Structure 1
Amino acid sequence: MKVLRHKFLINFYQAIETTSRVYMILELAQGGDVLEWIQRYGACSEALAGKWFSQVTLGIAYLHSKGIVHRPRLTPRPSAAGRDLKLENLLLDKRENVKISDFGFSKMVATVSPTLKNPLQHLVGCFSHLSQTYCGSFAYACPEILLGLPYNPFLSDTWSMGVILYTLVVAHLPFDDTNLKKLLRETQKEVNFPHNHPISPDCKNLIHSILRPAAKRASILDIIKDPWVLKFQPERPTQEIQLLEALCLPQTNTRTQEAAS
């Protein structure tokens, strides 16, 4: 946490250790968390969902560009508080901007420079590490984790982002987490939307691109370049895109793009 500095992450300021305690001084988020907001007010307008989701996207893009995954931690009860990317861990400052919090189970993952013999597909090329730490609140965990398979932790983060976006616009989780067998079946099908919520096709398409099998799942690079997300950015996140592309695109392709520009 000491090396992380981003406007959409909770900042760590100082740790004070005594003989019996460690005190951590963190940035204050006066607005509570996003789950509390939804429980109080219901589904977000698409404009507010876009604002918050685009802020989450920039925060996660920053982490992934540094080879850091927020990643989930499985809790014994679906409702239990866990250290993962979920609505409870999206805090709000006094201006209702998102601050991603709770990095207690985050992990720094070594990245591998992509080559043409090892092309990137959804961050598997440059972030090729597979994790076997099975963690995360069931409702936010990707199917690979639920099945106990080795999984790409970067794509685990983006799956959680898809669950977050769906819940922002619908006000309930996309999958029933009260029964693990049912949850497994549901996560392997295309997610459905209720008819009584006006959600734009672009938003639905983004959610569908995230909540899908890992081999086809959108990476953070895909998400940050998505037209629906860009619509809610104050300016095009050129620097973040360039950092991710430098890690992810094959080097010859990157050189060709630079020469063309």
Structure 2
Amino acid sequence: MGKGDTLEIAPTPSAYRSVMEEYGYEMGKVIGNGSYGTVYEAYYTKQKVMVAVKIISKKKASEDYLNKFLPREIQVMKVLRHKYLINFYQAIETTSRVYIILELAQGGDVLEWIQRLTPSLSAAGRDLKLENLLLDKRENVKISDFGFAKMVPSNQRMHSSPSYRQMNCFTHLSQTYCGSFAYACPEILLGLPYNPFLSDTWSMGVILYTLVVARLPFDDTNLKKLLKETQKEVTFPSNYSISQECKNLVLQTLCQATKRATILDIIKDPWVLKFQPEQPTHEIRLLEAMCQPPSTPNRHQSLEINT
């Protein structure tokens, strides 16, 4: 983790301020809360810029999170760099806490933005959801919170043997339940091994539906009812004017895994391309290499199940 790979002693609950000051951060107000910690606004004096500081309590966090998911989160954030992702700057570990320094999204999250426009909305990334879509000061969307993210090998990086070459985004399966019920695909709700890429596109469909309809497509207050609803084709309210192209994309994402759109299908979709300033040729080429279906007649021979 670079400079942050040092061990500090934080004996009192307020000690995080002295730790942060030592690294040049002036702590500000609380801007978010999670299961294991809190997110603060902070000023980085060395570069004169505002940042977000995610402080995770080791006492509150589970062993599974500290030993598996947190290292994965930091690994993913360090590798990924994109204008639509929240940037990772630094991680600092002490005896009692982990501090993750991130780009500050000053516009809040998309859920808050929708609720300001439509106060009637009620809402209860592997964890893609509206609360994890943040807005910068120009209201550009940035994806945050990679707590359940994981790195999956693509075709380009696999071993040269035939069985390895057939590993791709269609053949990798996960078993760990990740995310929120309202955004979870049916296979996760049923406790089945699932494709994490197709799980993400289901979540994208839930997000898109909510953006155009101003309510979630499924009622997550009752798991049995939720499971039943996700098995049926989603419907749109008649009093909303939604283009057929947009409806088609939602229907292609909120369907059973065997028929569900991949991220490649989504990025090439006519309705999506209509909003792009330029053709995403580079992204399409990379995704075509990663999502190329296996050539083997028996597709199940190359399945990899992981967590």
* Same topology, TM > 0.5: yes
Are 1:240 and 2:261 matched, yes or no? no
Offset of residue 127 of structure 1: 3.7
Cross-structure match for 2:200: 157
Q: Identify the match of residue 175 of structure 1 among 208, 214, 218.
A: 218
Which sections of structure 2, spanning at least 5 residues, go unmatched?
1-76, 296-307
Are 1:192 and 2:235 matched, yes or no? yes
Cross-structure match for 1:93: 136
Q: Using the alignment, how far apart are the partners of 1:245 and 1:206 within structure 2?
A: 19
Give the 3-state SS of the residue equivalent to 2:105 in structure 1.
coil
Task: Check the 8 A contact 1:83/1:104 in 2, yes or no.
Answer: no
Task: Check the 8 A contact 2:167/2:294 in 1, yes or no.
Answer: no
Q: Identify the match of residue 118 of structure 2 among 42, 49, 74.
A: 42
Q: Using the alignment, how far apart are the partners of 2:272 and 2:216 within structure 1?
A: 20
Cross-structure match for 1:102: 145
Off by >4 Å, runs of 4+ in structure 1: 123-126
| 1:170-213, Cα deviation, whole Å (9 max, x unpaired) | 00000111111111111011000001111000000000010000
Task: Check the 8 A contact 2:170/2:293 in 1, yes or no.
Answer: no
TM-score norm. by structure 2 comes to: 0.64
Q: Identify the match of residue 7 of structure 1 among 78, 83, 89.
A: 83
Cross-structure match for 2:108: 32
Q: Using the alignment, how far apart are the partners of 1:150 and 1:142 within structure 2?
A: 11
Cross-structure match for 1:75: none
Q: Using the alignment, how far apart are the partners of 1:21 and 1:132 within structure 2?
A: 28
Q: Using the alignment, how far apart are the partners of 2:204 and 2:87 within structure 1?
A: 21
Q: Using the alignment, how far apart are the partners of 2:151 and 2:219 within structure 1?
A: 31
Give the 3-state SS of the residue equivalent to 1:107 in structure 2.
coil
Give the 3-state SS of the residue equivalent to 2:174 in structure 1.
coil
Q: Using the alignment, how far apart are the partners of 2:117 and 2:93 within structure 1?
A: 40
Which sections of structure 1, spanning at least 5 residues, go unmatched?
44-77, 253-261
Q: Which has the higher contact order (CA 8 A, sep 6+)?
A: 1
Task: Check the 8 A contact 2:175/2:193 in 1, yes or no.
Answer: yes
Are 1:147 and 2:190 matched, yes or no? yes
Offset of residue 169 of structure 1: 0.3
| 1:188-240, Cα deviation, whole Å (9 max, x unpaired) | 11000001111000000000010000000000000000000000011010000
Q: Using the alignment, how far apart are the partners of 2:293 and 2:205 within structure 1?
A: 27
Task: Check the 8 A contact 1:144/1:151 in 2, yes or no.
Answer: yes
Q: CA RMSD in A?
A: 2.5
Higher radius of gyration, 1 or 2: 2
